[in-house]
Amino acid sequence: MLKILRQASLRAFNTFGVEAEAHELAIFDDIEQRAALIDWLGDRRALPIGGGSNLLLTRPVAQPVVLVRLSGRRILSRDGDATTIIEAAAGESWDDLVSWSLSAGLDGLENLALIPGTVGAAPVQNIGAYGVELHERLESLDAIDLRTGRIERFDSARCEFGYRDSVFKRDASSRYLIVSVRFRLGGSCHRQVGYADLRACLESAGKAPERASAAEVAEAVRSVRRRKLPDPAAIGNAGSFFKNPVVGADQAAMLATRHPDMPRYPQADGTGAVKLSAGWLIERCGWKGQREGDAGVHQAHALVLVNHGGASGSQLLALAQRIRADVLSRFGVLLEAEPRIV
Ligand SMILES: Cc1cc2nc3c(=O)[nH]c(=O)nc-3n(C[C@H](O)[C@H](O)[C@H](O)COP(=O)(O)OP(=O)(O)OC[C@H]3O[C@@H](n4cnc5c(N)ncnc54)[C@H](O)[C@@H]3O)c2cc1C
């Protein structure tokens, strides 16, 4: 039976740890509850929540919240050592899936180790880290069309993946609830050890990066992440709060003249577009380590907003808006938030 709670606190369900009340919340932990879920929603737009690690709640949530707790994972098919298709339900922990696939001897998800959250939310923003993005490993996913109740299959093209982006962040947001995701793993997944931090960590453990196993790469990723990123269990945060902005060739050239030390990453799309470091821009505006009440910017990471304890979602949002306005007036670059803001 679909369990429905009323006036439920969402504090435990968002890694910023801010208080926000859901008017109604359903715990969706069995695919057989699909019809009941559709009946309950009627024509209201749902807010699915997995681990709440990419979410900023700024007010009581009037729309129905669906806590996705579907579980299960399995190997679907094996084609020698080269390709294995695995499938996991949306409510599974992402990092548990990474560990499970590696212990089954399957390469492919090692660079994405220790990213918080659930399997079902991972395609929403096409999670990425240390040179690998989810879309490179995705086979397909299944999602419920919340208007019709039908389950539809999405291949990679239909997901319209981009940098921290997919159709589920845009047109399909609130319409589809992802229930399971399939990945193409195995020996054909190319090992990515290009990131300087990752290489240094492997080398300091006496491993030649190019010869490291997938499990060793995962271990190095975990160690770098533990050292560099704040643990939401210790201090509320949602990882990077802003995406790295991409600017056109003309603006990039102008910025390079004015700020020769600004990090620039030319894009491989042939347009001359350049990706900038949002963290560098924010740090240059003097925000690193700043604090307004309990809403702050992490001391070591200008890109990570933190809740020092009692910040509300609207205080964190106000801080984000001030940072954005500052970066815009100083550099003419508009920052886009990465988490979903409700
Ligand atoms: C310390 C820290 C480090 C992080 N590092 C990274 C990183 O390296 N790379 C990276 O890409 N991200 C990173 N993140 C962001 C976050 O972990 C990912 O975006 C993750 O995939 C979010 O999963 P979640 O289950 O917590 O999603 P939630 O926050 O619950 O939801 C995020 C969005 O997905 C939607 N959603 C959730 N479940 C479903 C579903 N089943 N169907 C449809 N929509 C759904 C929600 O409505 C919301 O819009 C980090 C976050 C933290 C706190």
| Catalytic, out of 137, 164, 191, 340 | 164
Residue 80 banded pLDDT, cuts 50, 70, 90: confident
- Tell the CATH topology of 3-68: 3.30.43
Q: Identical fold at 3-68 and 73-185?
A: no
Q: What is the mean pLDDT of residues 110-139?
A: 97
Instruction: Return the domain boundaries, the chain.
Output: 3-68, 73-185, 196-226, 236-341
Among 115, 132, 137, name the best residue to mutate to test ligand 1's pocket (greatest count of ligand atoms within 8 A of Cβ). Answer: 115
pLDDT of residue 209: 93
Tell me what the pLDDT averaged over the chain comes to: 95
Helix axes 214-228, 196-204, angle to 10 degrees: 110
pLDDT level of residue 189 (50, 70, 90 thresholds): confident
Which residue minimizes the CA distance to atom 50 of ligand 1?
Answer: 239
Residue 187's pLDDT is: 78
CA distance 291 to 293: 6
Q: At what angle do helices 214-228 and 94-103 cross, to 10 degrees?
A: 150
Give first-to-last CA distance, the chain, whole Å. 28
pLDDT tens sequence across 216-260: 999 999 999 999 899 999 999 999 999 999 999 999 999 999 999
Residue closest via CA to ligand 1's atom 18 equals 54
132 pLDDT tier (thresholds 50, 70, 90): very high
173 annotated active-site: no
| Ligand 1 centre distance from Cα of residue 204 (Å) | 31
CATH class of the domain whose range is 236-341 = alpha beta
In this prediction, residue 270 has a pLDDT band, given cuts at 50, 70 and 90, of confident
Q: What is the pLDDT of residue 171?
A: 73
Task: State pTM to two decimals.
Answer: 0.95
- Any bridge partners for residue 3, and if so which? 27
The architecture in CATH of the region 73-185 reads 2-Layer Sandwich (3.30)
Give residue 41's pLDDT.
96
**Cα-to-centroid distance, 30 and ligand 1 (Å):** 21
Cβ–Cβ < 8 Å for 190, 155: no
